[in-house]
């Protein structure tokens, strides 16, 4: 199976200038790869740096050292030193991110929020909205909410809108940041099926999943992040 | 339509410096702007944001440095070597400038329709019926009712004036729009409407935008990239969410940590 994503000797720390320049080491010497159609789950306790690794892959955290290599067609892009516009392009068609929290945009309806990534990939609006509605229905978001902006939805409803948004488009690499946290059993099962469908399409996934059952169902491999502890390496 | 695919920058800025006497307005600013890209310049009052914006938009000649722009024929031209006629044509047609105070960008004593139509006439449109129809269409796109087309902007609210200013700027289908605190001074519900409108128009039209704002929420919503300025210098640049989620410089960390949570 071809490798889609490879992290090589990745390290990250934060320097808190407002706290007298305290340096907080996060991870060091992170090394793992993800193949096509594989779901790798990051394991380890809170604070081990799982989210930071995911955010470095997506490019919203900077990577201090090492390489984050992403296969794009027949090219390899290193996210760690890519130009902002290269990262934006990757986010448009190569790397997707499903997070727990929806960043709502004033006045944009739930179905448009969900359809947006597909439309950005070139789908026309009608097709995008059709697919969006189908996904919202699968995730049990009540139909009367679809045309409303999600700002006033409950936490669980917003989360499901965000999951639909994360899964609607095809990205060869998909990052899952606790997509099932606080979902009920029925919706957890829907997410598990969505992940299995992505796997069947050859999507390489990296996830953070605290839910033991979900983890067992979808993880092909668990990478223990405590092995990359910055203190241990120092 | 896919953004971020073009290989050629629209604007190339190299070492732009502007002194006011021996005081620095902005110093050694360099960046490239690509088609479809929105760049936010953030920083506190007096950081040099507006000085830089004015240099970029040829409203204020820089003391040193070069600014090149890709004309519609594909050639890169140094903005400060254009003839006055070329520069004015560029500002009237291919560029827009949205002022914080709408009255600075509108003609307050002519009708809303004329405010929009005037820019069309500048690009050679002469047919009254066409001009009025296009103006009416643009008023609709910025959510101004058709029956206000003959009213002058003095009778408009602040939010409406700002939307009218945006219509006036976009009617000629510019490729590059400069914005100076476009949501400043508006109350929050009006701001939200304007931001959503701007976000949609920028994406639909594939505009390149340089926006000056001190409001990081505005930068987060509208921009792809951020440039943080302090004392006239660019101290940090990067992807918008990278700078806001993982600010590196002490001053950027202070800015981000100063946002009030609602």
State whether residue B226 sits within 8 Å of chain A by CB: no
In this model, does residue B4 exceed pLDDT 70?
no
CA distance B249 to chain A (A): 8
Asked whether residue B43 falls in the same domain as residue B65, the answer is yes
Which of A91, A59, A56 has its CA nearest to residue A72?
A91
**Residue B184: its pLDDT value, please?**
85
Same-domain pairing of B192 and B70: yes
Q: Average pLDDT for residues B147-158, to the nearest whole number?
A: 94
Contact A106 B192 (CB under 8 A): yes
Boundary-marking domain end, from B122, B148, B173: B173
B66 and B190 inside one domain: yes
B195 or A39, which is more confident = A39
* B167 and B181 part of one domain: no
Q: With H, G, I as helix, E, B as strand and everything else as coil, classify residue A175.
A: strand
Structure tokens at A21: 């320049």
Residue A122: how many other CB atoms lie within 10 Å: 12
H-helix or E-strand spanning residue B240: helix B240-245
Q: Do A92 and B4 touch (CB under 8 A)?
A: yes
Residue B131 shares a structural domain with residue B258: no
What is the rounded CA–CA span in Å between residue A99 and residue A159? 8
| Interface contact flag, A88 B1, Cβ < 8 Å | no
> Residue A188's pLDDT band (boundaries 50, 70, 90)?
very high
Indicate if the pLDDT at residue B182 is higher than 60.
yes
Contact yes or no for A18 and B250 at CB 8 A: yes
Task: Evaluate whether A72 touches A3 at the Cβ level (below 8 Å).
Answer: no
Q: Which comes out higher in pLDDT, residue A83 or B192?
A: A83
Cα nearest neighbour of A19 on chain B: B250
pLDDT at B262: 56
Which region holds residue B122: left if phi is over 0, alpha if psi is between -120 and 50, else beta?
alpha
Q: Which three-class secondary structure state does DSSP give residue A96?
A: strand
User: Is the pLDDT assigned to residue B189 strictly greater than 90?
Assistant: no
As a whole number of angstroms, the distance between CA B89 and CA B86 comes to: 5
- Express as a percent the part of chain A with pLDDT over 90: 82
* B242 closest CB neighbour out of A14, A62, A108: A62
Is the confidence at residue B45, as pLDDT, over 50?
A: yes
Judged by CB atoms closer than 8 Å, whether chains meet at A122 and B1 is answered as yes
Answer yes or no: do B210 and B88 share one domain: yes
Is the Cβ of A75 closer than 8 Å to some Cβ of chain B? Answer: no
Chain A residues touching residue B195 (CB < 8 angstroms)? 106
Number of domains in chain B: 2
Average pLDDT over residues A129-137: 97
- B190 is a domain residue: yes
The parent domain of residue B141 ranges over 106-173
pLDDT confidence bin for B1, thresholds 50/70/90? very low
Q: Do A89 and B34 touch (CB under 8 A)?
A: no
Residue B191 near residue B217 (C-beta atoms within 8 A): no
HSE-CB for B120 with a 13 A CA cutoff: 22
pLDDT for A1 equals: 61
- Verify that B136 and B152 share a domain, yes or no: yes
A151 reaches B (C-beta below 8 A): no
* Model pTM score: 0.92
Q: Are residues B76 and B46 in the same domain?
A: yes
Q: Is residue A24 within 8 angstroms of chain B, CB to CB? A: no
Question: Do the domain assignments include residue B73?
Answer: yes
Same domain, B75 and B201: yes
- Whether chain B has a CB inside 8 Å of the CB on A85: the answer is yes
Q: Using an 8 Å CB-CB cutoff, list chain A residues near B250.
A: 17-18
> Which chain B residues have a beta carbon less than 8 Å from that of A17?
249-250, 253-254
Task: Look at B2 and A60 and tell me if their CB atoms are within 8 Å.
Answer: no
Q: How far, in Å, CA of B94 to CA of B178, rounded?
A: 11
B82 plus B179 within the same structural domain: yes
Q: Check residue B44 and give its pLDDT.
A: 87
Residue A174 above 60 pLDDT?
yes
CA distance B216 to B254: 12
Residues 168-197 of B with CB under 8 A from A: 192-193, 195-196
Name the pLDDT band for A130 (thresholds 50, 70, 90).
very high
Distance of CA B261 to the CA centre of its chain: 27
Element (H, E) at B28: strand B23-33
Name the 3-class secondary structure at B237: strand
What is the C-alpha to C-alpha distance for residues B222 and B209, in angstroms, rounded to an integer?
9
The closest of B215, B175, B221, B217 to B198, measured between CA atoms, is: B221
Residues A157-185 as b or e (16 or more Cβ within 10 Å = b): bbbbbbbbbbbbbbbbbbbbbbbbeebee
Mark which of B173, B204, B226 sits at the end of a domain: B173
Task: Look at residue B99 and tell me if it is in a domain.
Answer: no
Count of alpha carbons within 13 Å of B73, Cβ hemisphere only? 4
Partner residue facing B239 (CB), from A60, A93, A106: A60
Q: What percent of chain A has pLDDT over 70?
A: 98
Give the mean pLDDT of A13-38: 93
pLDDT at position B6: 67
Note whether B235 contacts A: Cβ–Cβ < 8 A.
Answer: no
Residues of B in contact with A121 (CB under 8 A): 2
B65 three-class SS: strand
Q: Which residues of A touch B192 (CB under 8 A)?
A: 106-107
User: Per-residue pLDDT for A153 more than 50?
Assistant: yes
Between B200 and B247, the higher pLDDT residue? B247
CATH number, domain with residue B86: 3.40.50.300
Q: Does A20 touch chain B (CB under 8 A)?
A: no
- Grouping H, G, I as helix, E, B as strand and the rest as coil, residue B117 is helix
Looking at the predicted structure, is the pLDDT value of residue B229 above 80?
yes
Considering the domain architecture, whether residues B154 and B202 belong to the same structural domain is answered as no
Is position B100 within any domain?
A: no
Residue A234: its pLDDT value, please?
A: 46
Name the maximum alpha-carbon separation found in chain A: 55
- Indicate if B4 and B72 belong to the same structural domain: yes
**Using one digit for the tens of pLDDT, what is the confidence trace for B65-101?**
999 999 999 999 999 999 999 999 899 889 999 999 9
Q: What is the mean pLDDT of residues B100-124?
A: 93
Alpha-helical segments (H) within B13-111: 49-56, 84-93, 102-105
pLDDT band at A233 (very low <50, low <70, confident <90, very high): very low
What mean pLDDT do residues A65-86 have?
A: 94
B185 Ramachandran zone, left/alpha/beta (phi>0; psi -120 to 50): left
CATH topology of domain A35-61+82-224: Rossmann fold (3.40.50)
Model confidence at B5: pLDDT above 80: no
The pLDDT score that the predictor gives to residue B2 is 46
Question: Does any CB of chain B come closer than 8 Å to the CB of residue A105?
Answer: yes
Nearest CA in chain B to A91: B4
Q: Does A15 touch chain B (CB under 8 A)?
A: yes
Residues A195-210 have a mean pLDDT of 96
Within-domain flag for B225: yes
């Amino acid at each position: 199976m071809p490798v889609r994503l490879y992290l090589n000797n990745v390290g990250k720390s934060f320097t808190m200038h407002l706290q007298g320049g305290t340096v907080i080491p996060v991870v060091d010497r992170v090394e793992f790869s993800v193949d096509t159609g594989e779901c790798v789950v990051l394991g380890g306790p809170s604070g081990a740096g799982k989210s930071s690794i995911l955010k470095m892959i997506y490019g919203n955290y900077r990577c201090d050292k090492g390489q984050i290599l992403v296969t794009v067609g027949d090219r390899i892009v290193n996210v760690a030193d890519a130009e902002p516009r290269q990262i934006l392009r990757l986010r448009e068609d190569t790397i997707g991110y499903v997070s727990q929290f929806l960043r709502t945009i004033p006045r944009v309806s739930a179905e448009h929020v969900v359809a947006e990534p597909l439309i950005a990939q070139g789908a026309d609006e009608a097709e995008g909205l059709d697919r969006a509605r189908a996904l919202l229905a699968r995730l049990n978001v009540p139909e009367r909410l679809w045309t409303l902006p999600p700002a006033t939805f409950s936490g669980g409803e917003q989360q499901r809108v965000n999951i639909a948004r994360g899964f609607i488009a095809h990205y060869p690499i998909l990052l899952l940041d606790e997509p099932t946290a606080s979902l009920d059993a029925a919706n957890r099962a829907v997410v598990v099926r969505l992940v299995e469908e992505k796997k069947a399409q050859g999507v390489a996934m990296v996830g953070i999943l605290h839910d033991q059952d979900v983890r067992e169902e979808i993880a092909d491999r668990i990478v223990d992040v405590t092995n990359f502890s910055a203190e241990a390496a120092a | 339509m896919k953004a971020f695919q073009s290989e050629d920058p629209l604007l190339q800025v190299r070492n732009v410096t502007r002194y006011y006497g021996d005081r620095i307005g902005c110093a050694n600013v360099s960046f490239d702007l690509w088609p479809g890209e929105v760049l936010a310049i953030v920083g506190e009052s007096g950081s040099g944001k507006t000085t830089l914006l004015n240099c970029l938009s040829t409203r204020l000649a820089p003391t040193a440095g070069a600014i090149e722009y890709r004309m519609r024929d594909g050639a890169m031209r140094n903005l400060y070597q254009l003839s006055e006629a070329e520069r004015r044509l560029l500002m009237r047609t291919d560029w827009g400038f949205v002022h914080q105070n709408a009255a600075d960008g509108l003609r307050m004593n002519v009708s809303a329709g004329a405010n929009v139509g005037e820019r069309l006439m500048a690009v050679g449109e002469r047919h009254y019926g066409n001009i009025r129809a296009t103006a009416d269409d643009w008023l609709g796109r910025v959510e101004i009712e058709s029956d206000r087309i003959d009213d002058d902007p003095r009778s408009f609210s602040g939010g409406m004036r700002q939307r009218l200013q945006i219509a006036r700027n976009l009617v000629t289908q510019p490729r590059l729009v400069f914005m100076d605190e476009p949501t400043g001074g508006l109350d929050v519900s009006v701001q939200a409407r304007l931001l959503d409108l701007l976000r949609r128009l920028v994406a639909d039209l594939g505009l390149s935008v340089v926006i000056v704002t001190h409001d990081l929420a505005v930068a987060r919503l509208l921009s792809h990239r951020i440039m943080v300025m302090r004392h006239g210098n660019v101290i940090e640049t990067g992807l918008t969410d990278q700078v806001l989620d993982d600010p590196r410089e002490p001053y950027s960390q202070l800015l981000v940590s100063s946002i009030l949570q609602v």
